[in-house]
Structure 1
Amino acid sequence: MKITDFAKGKVYTLADLQRVVGGWRLKNKKVAFTNGCFDILHAGHLVSLSEAAKHGDCLVVAINSDKSIQEIKGPGRPINNEADRALLLASMAIVDAVVIFDEPTPLTTIKTLLPDVLVKGGDYSIDQIVGASEVQTNGGEVIINPILEGYSSSATLEKLRSTGK
């Protein structure tokens, strides 16, 4: 068995995912969408993804590419490359599809897929959520999920730096 067998058929290009989402819609499936870097997976990510999955029949997770993360977070990030991050997310039973985007935000991805539900963590307000107006204009809804306090990849990295481990 190869490591990529865990994610077989769940990591897509945007064009391929657009066709998959179209198929789900033909079956009257409600599509939920969330996004993030997901650099170092932690319990906060699991809670966020689990909550997002509750809002649809299918969950799409869009992740920032390595290039995108470097532009946002600076040198030394990401810790895990985009292929590994996509594989880890795709291996989760609650995730139906993963797509990688190169831009600083997932706006192009959201406009292309037009999910029924756009889900972001509680550290955002509705006016800060990229793609919210596009989803709402298309008849979809925007959900702000509560976040699990005390968990973030950046905090984990800072803790590692401060303890020297």
Structure 2
Amino acid sequence: MIELIQQKILDLPSARAKVAAWRLGGGKIVFTNGCFDLMHPGHLKYLAEARQLGQHLVVGVNSDASVQKLKGPHRPIMDEAARTLLLASLAFVDAVIVFGEDTPLALINALRPDVLVKGADYEEKDVVGASEVKSWGGKVALLTFVPGYSTSKIEEKIKSS
């Protein structure tokens, strides 16, 4: 079973080939990205809703070095191998790819998703890749969060216990 899950964790050439095959079959490709450091119900709701916007959900995951640069030296809490494995184990996630750059723009340009999804804490004008996705006829979707859940809040709760 674990081998089937690991097959969803792709490098860029494999992801491009997989997306091209899905597209040939008429599938709409949805892309989102994030650190996904500690999986929680907010992540699950967000990813499930993202998947409903198309036939295939690709999740870009910040590398360990990228998370540390964004969140500080105490993060990530879980390494990228653990984070990608957890994401790939979700039935509504079709592919997971790690990226090490500051933003997923190169990944977005390489995969050319039909729908780019981010959280509603963003404005469309601030979403990396939004103008590119729209330039090839795609759309941007901003999804609401589940109140009370965030990795930072979970981390604070653990530290205060």
Same fold flag (TM > 0.5)? yes
Q: Is residue 2:114 matched to residue 1:109?
A: no
Q: 1:120 corresponds to which residue?
A: 118
| Aligned counterparts of 1:19 and 1:150: Cα–Cα separation in 2 | 38
Q: Work out the CA distance in 1 between the residues paired with 2:97 and 2:57.
A: 11
User: 1:73-105: CA deviations, max 9, x gaps?
Assistant: 111110100011000000110000000000111
Residues 40-61 of structure 1: CA deviation (Å, up to 9, x unaligned): 0000000100110000100001
Instruction: Detail structure 1 runs of 4+ shifted over 4 Å in the superposition.
Output: none
Is 1:22 aligned with 2:20? yes
Q: Could you tell me how far 1:6 is from its partner in structure 2?
A: 4.9
Q: What's the CA shift for 1:5?
A: 2.4
What TM-score, normalized by structure 1, do the two folds share? 0.95
Unpaired segments of 5 or more residues in structure 1? none
Give 1:135 deviation, angstroms.
0.2
Gapped regions of structure 2 (runs ≥ 5): none
* In 1, Cα distance between equivalents of 2:4 and 2:85: 7
Q: Percent identity?
A: 51
1:1-165 to structure 2, matched below 5 A, reads 4-163=2-161
Contact 1:6 1:87 in 2 (8 A): no
Matched length: 161
Question: Normalising by the residue count of structure 2, what TM-score does the alignment of the two structures yield?
Answer: 0.97
Which amino acid is the alignment partner of residue 48 of structure 1?
A: Y
